[in-house]
Structure 1
Amino acid sequence: MRIIQIIDSLEAGGSERMAVHYANTLTQQIDFSGLVVTRKEGPLLNQIEEKVSYLFLNKKRAIDFEALMRLRSYVNINKITIVHAHSTSFFLAFLLKVTCPSVQLIWHDHYGDSEFLSKRPTLALRLIVPFFNGIIAVNQNLKKWSEQKLRARNVLFLPNFPSIEKSIAAQTVLKGKARKQIVSLANLRVQKDHFLVLEVAKKLKISHPEWTFHLVGKDFEDAYSQKIKDLIIAFGLEKNVFLYGTKPDVGNILEQAAIGILTSQSEGLPVSLLEYGWYKKPVVVTNVGEIASLVENDKNGFLVGAQQSQLFYDSIVKLIQNEMLRSNFGAALHEAVVKNNSKEAVVKQYINWLQNSCK
């Protein structure tokens, strides 16, 4: 098989990480593995393995014929058989199919607001989906949605998987007191509900002022991120909550952290949770999306309902007060990630499915 992944950017988001993970992992499994980035490069660029064939299109518009022709030429020259489009890159993949009918298309649906699928637009997808050989969904809600709303017949649920990042020089030093840092790996998007972090931080500032929160993720410099910054000042949390933006050295950051958190109102199976487990971090996370398929409450982490600030605070305090519990939770979550979300198991299922879907 000769497969390319298509993704719109190399920002450090979940779908972007998975596109890179697939491209890297497949170099050991198939004849040709490529990665095509359509609009914007980013910090994940240095995570691409040397064996991966890489193309940046620098696409400027929704319909950019020059970029499309560059992609078509790349596909023909490298004799690509399968195009694996991630998230919103499905439209470019469709246009490629129109100009290059022999390629087989797969769409990987990473939609983050899977708790609010009733509001998701369907018209464009319903028109385009018949041109795809199959759909990969990152959680069961998305799988059911594709089958029911898009009337897609070949939909596979595949969990995300972690992958060891290429060696990156440690460049981020977390502020605050060492070993008392709580990390949130989440881009500053509304669905991630950083306001819950701030509510918890207000309480923790009073009870455990030496513990601090560290928010790592892309700042889109919009109204949402500005409100976060305004509330940090309004709540007097300048020495308790720190923003770092996008950082490439995630492993280094997690080595410093004592606890990992996710406060999302909606998720698939977040890559950040897999990374917490990979680095043996105890977690407090909201019970949304597929998170409960990996985190068992009181066994390898704490599950809390979305927007439940008091319960979230109470769970963090339990971890703060019990170092042995932190260690046990971290080890148990690591074991669960290795068992249920190893790249070997996921990619094996992926390849078997492709062999049946793209004949």
Structure 2
Amino acid sequence: MKVLQLIDSLEAGGAERVAVNIANALSSNIEGSFLCATRKEGLLKESLSTKVGYLFLNKTKTLDFTAIKTLSSFIKEHEIQIIHAHSSSFFLATLIKLLNRKIIVIWHDHFGNSEFLSNRKAGVLKWCSKYFTHIFSVNKSLETWAKQNLKCRSVTYLPNFATINQVLAKTSLKGEEGKRIVCLANLRPQKDYITLLEAFAIVLKRHPDWTLHGIGKSFNDDYAKSIDNKIKELDLSKSVYLYGIKPDIYNILNQCEIGVLSSKSEGLPIALLEYGLAKLAVVATKVGECESVIAHQHNGILVNPSMPNELSNALSLYIENPELRHDFAMRFNRQIEKNFSQKKQIETILSTYNSYLK
């Protein structure tokens, strides 16, 4: 079996992490595992196994005929049978399918605004979906949406999985050891850093020696500026640190005690799974699949989105109760190891691939 993961970039986002994780995991399980980044390379290229065949297209427009020809030739040269297309790369996968009808296209839907699916534009996607053999959806809302709105007959829910990052330790976090909270999220409105900052400002009134650490890409846009302004407004510059994107996630998480997600909307966040692997106590909002990942009231704390008082109370509960924090962290770690392991999800993916190659 030979399979190509198709992804727009290798920047440090959730869909990109999944594509790299799957490509790496498959490299030990099938004859040929490949990955193609269509538009941009990025930090995650470092994480790609040397056993994965790699292609970068440097695609510059929607209909880039040079990129289409290059990818088509690569697929024929390596006798690739399946394109596993992630997020918006479905369009290029469909074009390749039209050039080679024997190719199987599986689309992986990572849509992050699953709380606002009624606003999702699906014209091109709906047309392309008749060429998909199967759709993987990262949460159950997306699975239902695909069944109701797209033309592919086979749709299943596939939880994300995380792996321990093997990049050599580089980043040293500021703040006092044993008193750090981390938020692993790009600086996008759906991640709602503003509510997190408001909550943390409340926490600091009782626990001034704790610090908050944001790991994720800034897009240098109005939202990033609003975060900077909020940090200044709340006088948090000596307690909140933003590091941008970093490759050594596991090293960073091992320097923290609490992992937090304050999102307004999610699919199934890789960050939450990574918190579990790193044995952090977690606080997350009740969006996407966060509730199903945490699964039990003693595995973590769930709060309503856009509610800074609720979020501050949850963080304070962990800070003020170290034994409870440790207990929740260990329970959550076992939950992630049992239900969101690489082994379990790769078995499901391989089973799906094989069912269409018969």
TM-score scaled by length of structure 2? 0.98
Q: Describe the shift of the 1:358–1:226 C-alpha distance in structure 2 as closer, same or farther (beyond 3 A).
A: farther
Give the aligned partner of residue 127 of structure 1. 127
- Alignment of 1:93 with 2:93, yes or no, is yes
- Alignment of 1:314 with 2:317, yes or no, is no
Q: Provide the rounded CA distance (Å) in 2 between the counterparts of 1:88 and 1:180.
A: 39
Q: Provide the rounded CA distance (Å) in 1 between the counterparts of 2:352 and 2:103.
A: 16
Structure 1 residue 169: deviation in Å?
A: 2.4
Q: Is the partner of 2:88 in helix, strand or coil?
A: helix
CA shift digits 1:166-185 (9 cap, x unpaired): 3x222211111111110000
Question: What is the 5 A alignment of 1:41-60?
Answer: 41-60=41-60
Question: What is the 5 A alignment of 1:107-126?
Answer: 107-126=107-126
The aligned amino acid for 1:156 is: T
Alignment RMSD, CA only?
Answer: 1.0
The aligned amino acid for 2:283 is: V
Structure 1 residue 210: deviation in Å?
A: 0.7
Q: How many residues align?
A: 358
2:132–2:152 contact (8 Å) kept in structure 1: no
The aligned amino acid for 2:217 is: K
2:7–2:85 contact (8 Å) kept in structure 1: yes
Give the aligned partner of residue 155 of structure 2. 155
Question: What is the 5 A alignment of 1:267-306?
Answer: 267-296=266-295, 298-306=297-305
- Alignment of 1:221 with 2:220, yes or no, is yes
Q: Provide the rounded CA distance (Å) in 1 between the counterparts of 2:357 and 2:127.
A: 20
Q: Is the partner of 1:30 in helix, strand or coil?
A: coil
Identity of aligned residues (%): 44
1:297–1:303 contact (8 Å) kept in structure 2: no
Q: Provide the rounded CA distance (Å) in 2 between the counterparts of 1:97 and 1:157.
A: 24
CA shift digits 1:83-105 (9 cap, x unpaired): 00000111111111122222110
Give the aligned partner of residue 256 of structure 1. 255
Q: Provide the rounded CA distance (Å) in 2 between the counterparts of 1:131 and 1:258.
A: 46
Q: Is the partner of 2:173 in helix, strand or coil?
A: coil
CA shift digits 1:88-126 (9 cap, x unpaired): 111111111122222110100000000100000011111
2:267–2:288 contact (8 Å) kept in structure 1: yes
Give the aligned partner of residue 15 of structure 1. 15
Structure 1 residue 350: deviation in Å?
A: 1.2
1:133–1:358 contact (8 Å) kept in structure 2: no
TM-score scaled by length of structure 1? 0.98
1:176–1:211 contact (8 Å) kept in structure 2: yes
Q: Provide the rounded CA distance (Å) in 2 between the counterparts of 1:21 and 1:296.
A: 23
Give the aligned partner of residue 77 of structure 1. 77
Give the aligned partner of residue 38 of structure 1. 38
Q: Provide the rounded CA distance (Å) in 1 between the counterparts of 2:296 and 2:140.
A: 20
Give the aligned partner of residue 145 of structure 2. 145
Gaps of 5+ in 2: none
Q: Provide the rounded CA distance (Å) in 2 between the counterparts of 1:162 and 1:351.
A: 17
Q: Provide the rounded CA distance (Å) in 2 between the counterparts of 1:132 and 1:169.
A: 39
Structure 1 residue 298: deviation in Å?
A: 3.4
Give the aligned partner of residue 67 of structure 1. 67
1:196–1:307 contact (8 Å) kept in structure 2: yes
- Alignment of 1:245 with 2:241, yes or no, is no
Question: What is the 5 A alignment of 1:179-258?
Answer: 179-258=178-257
Structure 1 residue 33: deviation in Å?
A: 0.3
